[in-house]
Amino acid sequence: MTKLSSAKQFYEDLKNAVIGGSPVLAVETWEEDLATEAIIAFAKTAFKGKATLATWDCRKGLVYETGGNSRPTPLVEALDEMCSGDEPAFFIIKDSSKYFIDVPFQRRIKDFSMFFRGKNRFLVLLGAIFRVPAEIQKEVYLLSYKLPDDEKILSMFQAYSQILEKRQVKINLETSDIEAIVTGLRGFTTAEITRVFNKVFYGLDEINPSIISQFYNEKEQLAKKTGILEYVRSDETIENVGGLDNLKEWLIKRKELFSKEAQAANIKPPGGLLMMGISGCGKSLSVKTISRLWKLPLFRMDMNRIYSGIYGTPEGAFAQTIDTIEAMAPAILWIDEIEGGISSSSAKDGGTGSHIFSSFLTWMQEKSSDVFVAATANRIDLLPAEIIRKGRFDEIFFLDLPNDHEREEIFRIHIKKTGTPPEDFDLTLLGVATEFWNGAEIEHAVTSAKIESFYMNQPLTQDHLYNIIRNTVPLSRTMSEQIKFIKNWASERALPASRAD
């Protein structure tokens, strides 16, 4: 079956709702102007120009297409006027979401639904997100006018390209480059897409693949507006990860699974990965490398902000965040320390944590969008059984303390970052000297040694590193019992991220 474009799908959904005789429609959309135009165009076609058409907003009040009243009529009064006739009509109500909890508003919604069921008189509510109260859920029929799909974005790019070509701007892009631009613009409204084009293409004489990354960087704006998602820019490559060969191999094998070639081969892209283990062993670093390796934008979800109440109810804020990340797919959603956020619940939160956890599990199980969930956990014993059972995540890896070979590799990576040749050091001895250290501790040792050598106006040497190592107490010594417990717990529940030494 051919997939309909967003606009055509809305037209079909609206037509079916009208045929079904639902008098009260609520259209969720960020494209208020386009949705309004589409509804009016449908009404004119369906009723051959014989339906009354009017819109209401909080500034202009009730305005009929034929002219007439434009004073700022309160919504309740406007609804009374809408209920007073019986001829075919479409009344489009903007700015309505805040009224949903008002009893007078609810009463008029019920009355309109009862009076005009099956009578070709329709009340269409527009808003970005609706939380329909139980009192009127049976009266309201929900529709969605979605953000531009790939077809629409491509047509906008082609139209803009024609304008650029008329200005003698050279466009040197392959089909794959254009597809990458289209992907980078998912999640934006048509107006936002136009603004991004204006910004990215301004003053250019040539359009080439070097501009593609700018479209993905624009997604930072979308993340900031949620207040909950953080767009994470990552320059970390998989070569910057010392050890963890099993994990790296898993990631490399799947880096092309979001491509059209994989889609054509009926290969489903991975849905998620859980990395758990000892603090400082590379979980966060690994998440950042996925973004670079797979060439997908990375967004971190701040669970503290979801629970803060600043962005509405925690359940509503979580649902809105999921809607936002899905609109920007393909993308990576990073949930850091998942055991303390999504999977935690207590009697003190009134069941909120439990509701969010349940919503997350359902979404993970049923999501059809190309959102890859990269979750990390330190206190793995706090993870509920439901979240680690097969089917939630594609794989679960345990990141242990690095072995001898991995410690040598980590030293090599961080010494090289200081601008010093790793060949000048005995990496084997450094690896032996830091037995039971984690990667973060090794990185800190190299950084501290470099500071010491700089202070002494000397090049970094093995002795500088030994001085730092001798004065460092690793986490494994202070938390040996907890680390032993974590290893035993994970041995039967996760794959080792590292290969045997």
pLDDT, one tens digit per residue, over 287-340 is: 999 998 998 999 999 888 888 888 878 888 888 899 889 988 889 999 998 887
Percent of the chain residues topping a pLDDT of 90: 61
477 falls within a domain: no
Residues 27 and 131 in one domain: yes
Higher pLDDT, 367 or 157: 157
Confidence of residue 70 (pLDDT cuts 50, 70, 90): low
Report the alpha-carbon distance of residue 482 to residue 309 in Å, rounded: 34
Residue 498, exposed/middle/buried by CB under 10 A (0-12, 13-18, 19+)?
A: buried
Which residues fall within 8 angstroms of residue 419, CB to CB, at 6 or more apart? none
323 falls within a domain: yes
Confidence of residue 20 (pLDDT cuts 50, 70, 90): very high
Choose the final residue of a domain: 163, 184, 217: 217
**Domain of 34: which CATH number?**
3.40.50.300
Query: In the predicted model, is pLDDT for residue 42 greater than 70?
Result: yes
Residues 283 and 311 in one domain: yes
Exposure letters 8-45 (e unless 16+ CB within 10 A, then b): ebbbebbeebbeeebbbbbbbbbbbebbbebbbebbee
Helix axes 6-19, 32-46, angle to 10 degrees: 50
- Residue 459: which domain range? 404-470
489 falls within a domain: no
Of 19, 20, 23, 26, nearest to 112 by C-alpha is: 23
Query: How many other CB atoms are found less than 10 A from the CB of residue 443?
Result: 18
If you search the block for the tokens 């993340």, which residue do you land on?
223
pLDDT at 470: 94
Host H or E run for residue 488: helix 480-491
Report the alpha-carbon distance of residue 265 to residue 124 in Å, rounded: 42
pLDDT at 456: 95
Query: In the predicted model, is pLDDT for residue 249 greater than 90?
Result: yes
pLDDT at 345: 54
pLDDT at 365: 86
Averaged pLDDT, 101-127 = 93
178 falls within a domain: yes
Q: State the total domains in the chain.
A: 4
**Domain of 458: which CATH number?**
1.10.8.60
Tokens of 498: 């590292």
Tokens of 431: 């690896």
Query: In the predicted model, is pLDDT for residue 402 greater than 60?
Result: yes
Residues 190 and 249 in one domain: no
Host H or E run for residue 274: strand 272-277
Confidence of residue 347 (pLDDT cuts 50, 70, 90): very low
Q: What is the mean pLDDT of the chain?
A: 90
Query: In the predicted model, is pLDDT for residue 2 greater than 60?
Result: no
Query: In the predicted model, is pLDDT for residue 67 greater than 80?
Result: no
DSSP 18-52: HHTT-SEEEEEES-HHHHHHHHHHHHHHHTTT-SE
488 falls within a domain: no
pLDDT at 46: 92
Residues 52 and 159 in one domain: no
Report the alpha-carbon distance of residue 196 to residue 209 in Å, rounded: 16
Residues 70 and 118 in one domain: yes
Higher pLDDT, 389 or 243: 243
pTM: 0.81
CA 449: distance to chain centroid?
Answer: 39
Higher pLDDT, 51 or 389: 51
61 falls within a domain: yes
Residues 240 and 374 in one domain: yes
Pairing of strands 61-64, 52-57: antiparallel
Residues 361 and 255 in one domain: yes
The answer to whether residues 51 and 44 touch, using CB atoms and an 8 Å cutoff, is: yes
Averaged pLDDT, 173-200 = 92
Which amino acid type is present at position 112?
A: F
Residues 110 and 207 in one domain: no
Residues 60 and 170 in one domain: no
pLDDT in tens, 440-455: 999 999 999 999 999 9
261 falls within a domain: yes
Report the alpha-carbon distance of residue 60 to residue 83 in Å, rounded: 19
pLDDT at 216: 84
Residues 312 and 446 in one domain: no
Averaged pLDDT, 471-480 = 90
164 falls within a domain: yes
Residues 415 and 354 in one domain: no
Confidence of residue 355 (pLDDT cuts 50, 70, 90): confident
Residues 267 and 371 in one domain: yes
Distances 364 to 118, 194, 310 between C-alpha atoms, Å: 39, 33, 25
